[in-house]
Amino acid sequence: MVPRGENGISSMEIIDREACMGSGNCLHWAPGVFGLDDDGVAIVSGDLLGNEENVRLAAKNCPTRAIRIEEFYG
Ligand code: SF4
């Protein structure tokens, strides 16, 4: 089952699981929004809507550009 964040947004819609290298940077930039699953791949575990600025920073600083938020935030 694909984990979903508090807004019901599937992690698959935001995280490119093939691109994610599990660095954990996104957990630093957007604390409480991202987590790592048992495979060490980033998941959305918190609220994307209330943390837009931090999520944008996380996407910008992801070393593999694995966070795709353009379609979510516009
Ligand atoms: S910063 Fe990017 S590569 Fe690192 S865990 Fe998050 S999504 Fe994956």
Written as six digits, the tokens of 5 are 């964040």
- Under the banding of pLDDT at 50, 70 and 90, the label for residue 13 is confident
**Would residue 1 count as lying in a domain?**
no
Q: What is the pTM of this model?
A: 0.85
**Would residue 17 count as lying in a domain?**
yes
**Would residue 73 count as lying in a domain?**
no
Question: DSSP for the chain?
Answer: ---B-TT--BHHHHB-TTT-----HHHHHSTTTEEE-TTS-EEE-S-SGGGHHHHHHHHHH-TT--B--HHHH-
Give me the CATH number covering residue 53. Answer: 3.30.70.20
**Would residue 52 count as lying in a domain?**
yes
Pocket test residue of 16, 17, 23, 44 for ligand 1, highest count of atoms within 8 A of CB: 23
Over the stretch 21-55, which tens digit does the pLDDT of each residue have?
A: 999 999 999 999 999 999 999 998 888 888 999 99
Domain that holds residue 54: 11-67
Residue pair 20/48 in contact by the 8 Å Cβ criterion = no
Q: How remote is the CA of residue 38 from the centroid of ligand 1, in Å?
A: 14
